Amino acid sequence: MQKKKLVYIWSLRNAAADKAGQDVAYKDGTRYMKSVLESLVEALNQTTLGQMYSLEKVIYDDDAELASDREKLTDYGFSYEAGKRWFYPPDLQVQGRPVNELLLAIPSAYRRHGMQAPERIAGKSAFEKHLLDTLQELDADIVVLDGLLIILDELVRPGSLFHRKIVNIHPGVTRLESPYERRGAYATLDALYGARGQKVVNWQTMETVPVKPLYMTGASFHYVDNGIDSGEVIHDVLKTEIDKEDTILELRWNNFNRSLFPALHEGLVKIYQ
């Protein structure tokens, strides 16, 4: 069985919001918040997934020059430092290699400029070109996005080298025809409000309207296109029950363990075949 080369791309600031690698309050006790990366590493080490894929690099786009990124990563930093928190056990190894040695920063520095600034457009293109060059150097077969807080453009257009080679793992069902559909950055919070019989119609003002409560959510593994969680679904899992009294982190823990980790692992098996 020939292994495919897998490159993983994430945003540390998104993992920090989940308190990845920490014990978090859960009901009357605590539970360890395993990062998606740590779950993938365990699967590569302990299951037949490791016969299908080799993890070649872990890329993150956080920008140490941006004050907002520094603030979000106050507890972690931009690379592992002894004595500080980290997103997974710092001695974690994948297929015999230290995960920390696979880390590579490619900052999305274009975010330093305003939305309408011409420098932002040029910077975004340069960022994607840097990613493209790196993926080519690594001879990547498949690229997994986890919590990347930017929309890729040039890399995923039809005809590009990595069209249908970049996939995303999303903490919500992304099929529009599903009553449980939850796209976008607020997918988990959207599901939590839904269990409380509310639909947020404006995330800036938090204006809501009443809806029929839904007490389930899940995760989708899908190809990445130029939209927001709008790519073709490869595999999804809907196994997370919601208690309307859940906190956001309690629901994140439940959804990661019951739906998202299985969707990622099972989805990778599907696209290997």
CATH number at residue 72: 3.40.50.170
SS3 state of residue 200: strand
DSSP per-residue letters across 210-236? E-----EEEEEEEE--SSSS-SPEEEE
- Residue 83 binned pLDDT confidence (cut-offs 50, 70, 90): confident
**Which range of residues forms the domain containing residue 254?**
4-174+217-272
78-86's contacts with Cβ under 8 Å and 24+ in sequence apart are 78/12, 78/105, 79/103, 79/105, 85/21, 85/22, 86/21
210 in a structural domain: no
- The pLDDT of residue 1 is above 80: no
The whole-angstrom separation of Cα 92 and Cα 42 is 9
146-200 residue pLDDT tens: 999 889 999 999 999 999 999 999 999 999 999 999 999 999 999 999 999 999 9
209 in a structural domain: no
11-68 residue pLDDT tens: 999 999 999 999 999 999 999 999 999 999 999 999 999 999 999 999 999 999 999 9
123 in a structural domain: yes
208 in a structural domain: no
SS3 state of residue 201: strand
124-149 residue pLDDT tens: 999 999 999 999 999 999 999 999 98
199 in a structural domain: no
239-267 residue pLDDT tens: 999 999 999 999 999 999 999 999 999 99
187 in a structural domain: no
pLDDT at 189: 96
pLDDT at 273: 75
pLDDT at 84: 87
The mean pLDDT of 110-122, rounded to a whole number, is 93
99 in a structural domain: yes
The residues, any chain, with a CB within 8 Å of residue 199's CB and separated by 6 or more, are 190, 193, 208, 209, 210, 211
pLDDT at 149: 86
157 in a structural domain: yes
Q: How many domains does the chain have?
A: 1
The whole-angstrom separation of Cα 26 and Cα 5 is 36
pLDDT at 137: 98
The whole-angstrom separation of Cα 13 and Cα 73 is 6
- The pLDDT of residue 233 is above 90: yes
